[in-house]
Structure 1
Amino acid sequence: MDFAFDARTEELRERLLAFMEECVYPAEATAAAQRAALASPWDVPPVVEELKAEARRRGLWNLFLPDEKYGAGLTNLQYAPLAEITGRSPQLAPTAVNCAAPDTGNMELLAQFGTPEQRERWLAPLLAGEMRSAFAMTEPDVASSDATNIATRIERDGDAYVITGRKWYISGALHPECRILIVMGVTDPGAPDVRRRQSMVLVPRDTPGVEVRRAMRVYGYEDHYHGGHAEVVLDRVRVPVTNLVGEEGGGFAIAQARLGPGRIHHCMRLIGMAERAVELMCRRAVERTAFGGPLADQGVVQQWIADSRVAIEQLRLLVLKTAWLMDTVGNRGAHTEIQAIKIATPRTVADIVDRAVQLHGAGGVGQDFPLAELWAAARTLRLADGPDEVHQRSLARRELARYRRAP
């Protein structure tokens, strides 16, 4: 395994780092000020569109897509250090370069499973950054950590599907430019294989019967920049059968194919969030004085910083190994490592950010520093794309299988 940056990755890193310093970091305060003056909290600050235009001008666009037909054509290993950089400003940078969830996963899904007509109608404007999208899987009335529990019904009625159900924490659905929901539901409740009962359909957000009911908060935040996390009710929503993604009964497999890259992308960005937290921690430590000297001279502070650096380096190596395996043996061959990074990265990064919060005192929990939002995002990712316990269960069963004897 060779994790040295190749020439193309290094060149893109330099361009992206310059974009962050010259455009993104200065725009953080601008975006906050503009948002306060908007008519609706879901409207997009004008500076966001300015950042997107500048990113395209600099050739920093759709970096996450490995297929050159749709994106930059980078491998997972090449994309990892770039995603890490965008993670340093998670509210603005991923959107600025059109690499923000849930659109990334939805674009990958459409590129892999969509029909030519679906790709033309929905994928093309997503690739151009002209619209946003949402992925509607999680439900409030069932344990959605087990996707076979999904209860939303998708019933065939002639040349249409009729969809009835209730979803929540549907990221992006409140964004004013969200035009399409990818909805997972049950098409064949009696199928012998519980993993062949679900399907996915494309539901335009303005379809009659679609009600975006409310914004769900995440530790008090509504996440306006990414279009929030909505409760969505589907009341006998009708869409043509041509809106089926893939095949009937293929929804579970499509979801797994979508979530693999999504999990590693989250972990890549989380490392950038941890780096931002350590940078803020170090700056605070050398600038603030307490008990007759700078905080940087306190042994506990030095321990926090040292432990954080060690943890980041460990996580980065594990994420890079996972990216390399996904490139060389495929997502299935990297299953154990994908689960390992999904368990380790959010948990560890939340701990690192928590140390930075502690060092900042009252400022750490307020709006003058990004730490509280960074912590909320990291902690939430212990649930998103499968909670820790599901990944631990699966990983442990795979480990134990090597030692169990057949009866």
Structure 2
Amino acid sequence: MLIQLSFAQQVYKVDIKDEIGPNAWRTVNLAYKKAVSTKADIFLIELNTFGGAVNFADSIRSCLLSSSLKTIVYVNNNAASAGALISLAADEIYMHKGGSLGAASVVNANGELMPEKYQSYMRGLMRATAEAKGRDVHIAEAFVDPEISIPALKPDGKLLTLTATEAVKAGIAKAEVRSIEELYQQAGIKATTVSQHKITWMDRIIAFLILPAVSGFLILGIIGGIYFEMQSPGIGFALVVAVICGALFFAPLYLQGLAENWEIGLVILGVILLALEIFVIPGFGIAGILGIIFVLCGLALSMVDNDFLDFTFTKPGVLMTSFLIVIGAMFGAVLLMFLMGKNIMNSSMFRRLVLEDEQRADVGYTSSQQKVDLLQKTGIARTVLRPSGKIEIDGVWYDAVALDGFIDAGETIFVEKHENYNLFVRKIVDKTV
């Protein structure tokens, strides 16, 4: 009778063989939606992990607990920590011969136990999950708490980790198998009805872009691009670089459920405040400081899963790591500005990009020409310089930046230096008054 029913069972299978994190959660979520859309009867996860972030494991657990499909987890060797929580949420657990399940205490990046509030939360998750699936709640708690006494399975004071044989005897796992084919046989599944979830090229790109090193490089591109754009007139290549780096930084984090709208908005607000500080408000004050803080916090928080600054169940150490990445990228951008700020505009690559040879003075273009001959010349501020604006020298208007921070229209100025196609000017103070 069981074999006859198995012919009608459609199975959708997904593999999770890495650390439980945003990539694992996104893969399971997409696979489950695909299983539902294809009208599968069974959702099967082949699991081999030493653990990961509790919050993402909890998301996978919730998906399995609320599933309208029959759920099976095949522990193909290891289901430690977060992997044990996911396993307990399935309707059935099958374990590979020689596999293990358990050891679910919450630890930091150095393997040290976290405070009791973390352990208490994890115990509650394990207990509630086991209870929902009719499994022994004391065994589930013993995965987290060494003080739970189960003499038949572990010494007192030690965390519980079950072998495949022990898990079957304890009623946690349904059967011990030697291969996925044997699992199909034990579960009454015909192999030809199994659809394997495939990782797409887009999934791989997203996984690559959220790597810490790549995120740091993109942050450097955002900050460096904005700086170099502010150093050149008009909208050009540097701004394009900043926008592309920003999109590549935020888009995968948003798709993974890490970056929230308010965090992206915080970065945008920070950039606006910095622009106001540079172009509108003289000097450097509260707007500039807040702008830097907002950009720093927005970028760092976008890399960390949190519930509006609630980091209770965020994997320990992740928040500090994200801030270090952002700060490191900012220092890298400052170093890049120092090393390249005076030379990049004169490089052969930049000259090709900005089409400098088409903007000739004899046809009315002046901002892209070298203006060394204007040094120490005097002129008139034709617009307010705060600090950027327009000046007039010998009847010709030029873009200029005030070194004094703020110069009113009509003030007399002199050119102190020329750098990156900008004239830097100071106000001539009338000392006769």
What interval of TM-score do these two structures reach, taking the shorter chain for normalisation? under 0.3
Greater RCO between the two (CA within 8 Å, min separation 6)?
1
TM-score normalised by length of structure 2: 0.25
TM-score normalised by L of structure 1: 0.26
Higher helix fraction (1 or 2): 1
Q: Which has the larger radius of gyration?
A: 2
